[in-house]
Every structure is written in C-alpha cells, then in structure tokens.
Structure 1
Amino acid sequence: MLTMSAMEPRLKSRLWIAAEIRRCAVQDITAVVARRGDPDAGAILLKVNRFAAGCVVHGGSYGRDGQREWIAATGAEPVPEADADAYVERRRDSDPDLWVLEIEDPQGRYTLGETVA
C-alpha cells in the first residue's frame, strides 16, 4: 500500500494532453482532442491513425514506479480504423472521465515520449 509520502505527484491529464498536442505540432503532426475527460485525473487513450497502414490505440496507466506507461490496447499490429473506433467507444461508454487524443500520422513519425509496455 502506498502512503501519501511515497506517491509521486502526477501531471494532470489536461496538462499532459496540451503538452502532447504541442509536441506533435512541433513535428508537424496533427493531434486533436476527440473527447475531453476529467481535467485532473482522467484516463487517456491515444488513437494513432496511420490511415492506409491502420490505427493503434494506446492506453495510458501508471507503473509501480509512478511513471506513465502505455499499452497498445488494440494489439502490437495496426488495426482497421473501424476496430480502433469500436475499442474507443467501448472505453468511453465505461469511463465518463476518459480523454481521447487522436493523432493523424500517415508518415509514421509519431512516437510516444514515455514507456510502451
């Protein structure tokens, strides 16, 4: 069990989203908020759309060390956009605080700045 003194402060969801949009803009990659969640502690999904190459949805969580980690929620291989959208919709239905950030990256340049499990 973690005590308050052992917990690392976490970046608020809205700030992480804003920073990621800016990071994408610097790389000339389009990123848009498809759904706004809880501004402080909402879970985050990243839908990376590579268009003809398919989509990958990453789900964010925190590891044992308190650092943000990402899991390829739709699997390691890209899936059709309809499958990615269906996954996002299921998550949205079960989590009203969920953020969804859509990243359009047909050239495959986008990389997560944090650990991918």
Structure 2
Amino acid sequence: MRVTSDLWVSALTRRAFASGGYAAVVRRGATEAGAIMILVRDRMGETTLYGPAPQTSYDEGRPEERLFTEVARTFDSDEIDKRLEGEMRFDPDIWVIELEVDDTTFKELVSVRTL
C-alpha cells in the first residue's frame, strides 16, 4: 500500500534537512493522493523539474514506490513556471516541492526513471 502524498512529502523534506540540504513545500496539494512535482535548483542556476513517472515504469514487485522522471531542465525559471501552471490547470491537486541538495543526496531521496 502506498503512503499518502502528505506523509511522503513530509518524509522527503525531513530527510533533505537531515542530510544538510534544503526543502520547501511550494504548493500543497491533495493530502491523500495528489501528484508530486519536484524542483531541483543547482548552484549554477539550472532548474530541473521532475514529475511522476508513467505507470509503465513501475515494477510489479514494488508498486508502492514513488517514481519520478525528468520533465524539464533549463536556466529559464519562467519556462518552469509556465510548465507548472499548465500542470496545475490539468491537475489542481498537485504538490510542488523545491529541493536544494547535492546530486548524491537527491539520488538517495528520489527514485528517478529515464524514459
């Protein structure tokens, strides 16, 4: 059974702070099952947006795991904002989480699948 979005986000933010990073809930979505979008900003100003991976990415043995895929990567914050606005029009229950952690910590916190 998959944990609620609220609980998963809470755990993510606590683990980010515990690792010496930073995390913020930019937008709070539906408590039970809101989709989660993750913003990661690096030291050079590049922003990467991750969204939920398609259902075909999930392993039948671990369906409760949350998987993400890269949606956009850019130095233009307006492009990311426009993408998020479109996502919010499509699904008003989404969460938006911002993380500032190093690459190693990010890989420990978030499971990313490439398409």
Q: Which band: TM-score by shorter chain?
A: 0.7 to 0.9
Match of 1:68 among 32, 45, 66: 66
Match of 1:48 among 29, 40, 43: 40
Gaps of 5+ in 1: 1-8
Match of 2:94 among 75, 98, 101: 98
Larger radius of gyration: 1
Q: Identity over the aligned pairs, expressed in percent? A: 28
- Deviations, residues 58-105 of structure 1 (Å, cap 9, x unaligned): 11245242132110011xxx3122222221121112111100001134
Q: Pairwise mapping of residues 5-16 of structure 1 onto structure 2 (< 5 A)?
A: 9-16=1-8
Query: Is the counterpart of residue 111 in structure 1 residue 110 in structure 2?
Result: no
The one-letter code of the counterpart of 1:22 is R
TM normalised by structure 1 equals 0.78
Larger RCO (CA under 8 A, 6+ residues apart):
2
Give every structure 1 segment of 4 or more consecutive aligned residues whose post-TM-superposition deviation is greater than 2 Å. 107-110, 112-115
Could you say which residue in structure 2 is the equivalent of 1:38? 30
Gaps of 5+ in 2: none
TM normalised by structure 2 equals 0.79
Number of residue pairs matched by the alignment: 105
